[in-house]
Chain A
Amino acid sequence: MTRFFDSDVFYAFRTSPVAICSLVVTVLLVLSAVFAPLIATTNPFDPASLNLMNGFTPPMEPNAFTGERFWLGTDDQGRDVYSTILYGLRISLFVGISAVLLAMVIGIFLGLLSGYVGGWTETIIMRAADVQLTFPSILVAMLIFGVAKGVTPVEYRDQMAIWVLILAIGLSDWVQFARVVRGATLVEKSKDYVAAARLIGRSPLAIMIRHILPNVLSPVLVIATISLALAIIAEATLSFLGVGAPATQPSLGTLIRIGQGFLFSGEWWILAFPACTLLVLALAVNLLGDWLRDALNPRLR
């Protein structure tokens, strides 16, 4: 621990107000997502708890029929916008983090493999990555989502929707990781410690995971943070297009999609609050990623 507090990275963090701010905001948002059931006033995912007559209540004002007040208002179904944002944040963060983890695992594995083994393996993996890069990742995610939705039985679609989203975003995002890890592996491979490990007869798998992997992790960390922001936005985009989280369990993107229909009629709060939350979340994570990249890059210091 002392080692961490004494490190250059922590010093850079302490002296950067942007980094401190974005970390605080991110941690706050993550905490409120984790403890959503405790701090939310209602459970918006329980359809039995909704009262349709509460629909379209403006923020801070009493509803015309029921007299109930909601401090961020309600949407068309009478869902409390504040609680729905907290639960939606949960889905957005969960999907984002899981998708990045999935992309990271796939990307690191394929990157290490192609960098260390080389030859045909490398060619095939890297050309596949190139081909995938030519498609916009949102398109790849939609394709995977469509196929996965087609093969899931209809009763499980709602429960599976979140997992399918994670799969779709994760699979569309592994290329960045694979390319970076491959590059770093190529550099590390020719170093003496790898030759030493080979000499004492360690298996290639052990060399890749025990020896090379720890040395290529710092760029992965940077990409992971930036990818997290992108994955959260990708989830919101998919849900906005109506192919993501189901309307009965809205994520931030679904909420924005619902709210978009009521912009002209003056019910701005259905769109504005979820959109602001998404903006703040994506911005904070992105700034954090940017700062991390600078802090870990010795050439920029």
Chain B
Amino acid sequence: MFRLSAAFAIALALPVSAKDFSFAVTTDPQTMDPHAVNSAPVLGFLNNVYEGLVRRGKDMSIEPSLATSWSPIGNGEGWRFVLRQGVTFQDGSAFDADDVIFSYERASSEEADTSSWFAPVSKVIKVDNFTVDIMTSAPNPIFPDSIANWMIMDSGWAAANNAERPDKERGNFATLNANGTGPFQIASRQPDLATELKPHAGWWDKVEHNLSRVKMTPIQNSATALAALLSGDVDFINPVPIQDAQRLQGNPDVKVIQGIEARVIMLGFDQQPGAAESGQGASDMFLDARARAAVAQAVNVPAILQTIMRGNAEVASQLVSPAMRGYSNAQSAPYAFDPDAARALAADAGLTGQTISFKCPNDRYLNDEAVCQAITGMLAQAGMDVSLDAMPVSNYWPELRADNFDMYLLGWSPGTFDAEHPIRFLGSTPNAEKRLGSWNFGAYSNARIDALLPMIQSEIDDTARQRMLDEVAKIMQDEVAYVPLYVQPLVWGARSNIQVTQRPDNFFILRWVTVN
């Protein structure tokens, strides 16, 4: 830690102009390819370099970006996008409809990690050089909302550099290089060490930032990142360790920017009958809804928020936070904490005497391991025996995909800011062909929810749609499909001369940063 700070101190001693800006992140974006990995660190960073047809404003609303306007076609057969003229990529080539068609083919290809976004799309048609029709297999009123992270890549650049398809495993030219239309372009890139950005001179929109050079440094240990912020080595860090937020507020040199993320932290359960192929962990103990309800009633969420989260988070009642579209007000009551009832339920459901294998990440969510430990203790107090296994996120997803769990911790932030999103990924029965339920590790399944999902997706009337979303929320609550715990807080730290805009998707958008 000290050696790192020393290295920073030397870097700081060099003359710097006022408009240089450096920030630290916990996880280095693993690729510069916008279609190769669908994860928040990658998409959040690349939003500064690439742009989509639409983008999200400071209040998360959808606004025009590479498309100037869009309108539904006929009775909901698709959407027509009118593209912006005069936009150039960072290498100087011009943007037109061919790039959109190419980016659709690339992002929806089998090699891409983003293909599930295009599940409702049947085909994409080039009408003329600056008009594109995206046809959907069923009416899809929220489609423009769902593609803000679909970034457009230059077809000529990709072809010239042999990067026409993403390559997650081996990587290709687009893994280390980028050529978008966005406000910043990559000046140098050293994976896991440092990435430098400079403004894109030919950007089409009005420039709000005043940055001339940006440096991003990955610092994994959040205490080290905090030390770097306090000493002025970096101007911005995300996140600030939650236990340090209060003390930082008394420091005039730095400021803490707090908010509520769109991410809901929840417990999931193995609900697949029969043992998993690996024969590890998975038993049938959580097939019984009473067993899941026992867990729900045994966990004292307010106590977790009071101590581990230091009063900085809100209890969640469903898979989305109240700020999301389609949040069910009717189902806003969280599970009540009742250890005695939980103990009785656990005994009824045959949980007593079995060891629950509980998987938990230790570097993905705020204080994730401490929360899992607290849950382990609370379940023990209600007579349940839990074996906790906390691991880094790189081991965590494979472990969940291999079904090696009875119970697990998951955080979900709906990319569309709509309650339909978690139903598609977490609520519907897993179905690889239809690209549904792809993060439903425990294979929760309910026929009514599966039937409601396409109706929700194509419903245009808001009241009718909300009625269906309420019904899904009620089913999932009654059946204890998941146990929503809390909405994760956002804690950013910046030097006091830095102005930033915090959005609930936890994306750090450089074009809104000013250095005073």
Residues of chain A whose beta carbon lies under 8 Å from any beta carbon of chain B: 46-48, 50, 52-53, 55-56, 65, 76-78, 153-155, 157-158, 242, 246-248, 260-267
Contacts and interface: CB of A to CB of B under 8 A. Distances in A.
B375 to A, nearest CB: 10
B interface, by DSSP: helix, strand, loop or mixed? helix
Contacts of A76: 307-308, 370
Contacts of A246: 388
Interface of B: 222-223, 226-227, 241, 243-244, 246-247, 280-281, 300, 303-304, 306-308, 355, 357, 362, 369-370, 373-374, 376-381, 386-390, 404
A48 B308 contact: no
Contacts of B376: 47, 248
Which of A47, A50, A53, A157 has the most chain B CB within a 10 Å cutoff?
A: A47
Given A248-B373, A267-B243, A78 B380 contact: no
Contacts of A155: 280-281, 355, 357, 387
Given A46-B380, A78-B307, A153 B243 contact: no
A264 B244 contact: yes
Contacts, number: 82
A157 B381 CA distance: 22
A136 B227 CA distance: 29
Contacts of A55: 307-308
A36 B280 CA distance: 34
27 contacts: A47-B376, A48-B380, A52-B300, A52-B304, A52-B307, A55-B307, A55-B308, A56-B307, A65-B306, A77-B370, A77-B374, A78-B307, A154-B281, A154-B357, A154-B404, A155-B387, A158-B388, A246-B388, A247-B369, A247-B390, A248-B373, A260-B223, A263-B223, A264-B227, A264-B244, A264-B247, A266-B247
A44 to B, nearest CB: 10
Contact of B306 (A53, A157, A263): A53
Given A154-B281, A155-B387, 11 more contacts: A52-B300, A52-B307, A65-B306, A77-B373, A154-B280, A247-B369, A247-B388, A247-B390, A248-B388, A261-B223, A265-B241
CB-based closest 9 A-B pairs? A265-B243, A48-B380, A55-B307, A47-B380, A47-B377, A50-B377, A265-B244, A52-B303, A48-B381
A156 to B, nearest CB: 9
Contacts of B387: 154-155, 157-158
Contacts of B379: 47
A77 B377 contact: yes
Which of A155, A260, A261 has the most chain B CB within a 10 Å cutoff?
A: A261
Nearest to B399: A154
